[in-house]
Amino acid sequence: MSIENISNNKCFGGWHKQYRHRSSTLNCEMRFAVFLPPQINTGVKVPALYWLSGLTCTDENVMQKSGIQRVAAELGIAIIAPDTSPRGGDVANDDSYDLGQGAGFYVNASQAPWNRHFHMYDYIVKELPEIIEQHFPISEQRAISGHSMGGHGALTIALKNPERYSSVSAFSPISSPVNCPWGQKAFTAYLGAEQADWKAYDSCELINNATRFVPALVDQGNDDQFLIEQLKPQLLDAAAKAKNYPLQLNYHDGYDHSYYFIASFIESHLRFHAEHLSPSVN
């Protein structure tokens, strides 16, 4: 698999780099960003945190707004930030912000016209890690995190693949997409009208059926404008408590849905993941 480097920026002794490549999974050209911590200069392979962004976002949001690089450089963790959907002139799209390009929801679409390109689940779980581990000094130790739609993606991907991820975290995740307007709209388009098929991408349903647990951390702002209608963290909390699932859910007064919230607590998420990665990561 060939990749093309399109930008390089030194940051906290490491490097932020952007790449593009042709994705066989998504049938289009894709872009992703990587932060490589300074520890790679010692010749060791470092673990990776995959960050999944939310609706309308790209690989740039977390790298430019969260301040994630400072603590990642200290801990020796690479950050991998993919785009949020397939892109391009021949890729299906919609006029609304919550469907189509920029709104992949990290599922494998089964319905036309979306099923030609929208296989973000397979891209994140399979193709992208293969590319990362082939081209960079990054080990097979992985954690995953995300925000909003990306928080939904991180939780569902970790829950469906507990052997692949040491830990999972999320900011303001769409906790139960089968029970909110964003999820219902996207799942109807991508997966069809049969709601039984939606449950394979719903964190609460996956927790209910979990047999192997991945340690989970979720932070939610109490002043989030999407809290009640779209995010519904109480459903995630109830599912975790019923299953005795290792979920730490924190609420924060005054914080909203923005990257100001993420920047305020990103350090605690990185340190949480470091505790569950290799003992050499600290």
Catalytic (active-site) positions: 148, 224, 257
Whole-number Å distance between alpha carbons of 268 and 256: 18
Of the CA atoms within 13 Å of residue 170, those in its CB half-sphere come to 29
Q: Look up residue 205 and give its amino acid.
A: E
End-to-end alpha-carbon separation of the chain, Å? 32
Nearest to 193 by CA among 185, 182, 201: 185
Whole-number Å distance between alpha carbons of 195 and 197: 5
What is the DSSP secondary structure assignment for residue 42, as one 8-state letter?
A: G
Question: What does the angle CA 153 – CA 118 – CA 208 come to, to the nearest 5 degrees?
Answer: 35
What is the DSSP secondary structure assignment for residue 199, as one 8-state letter?
A: G
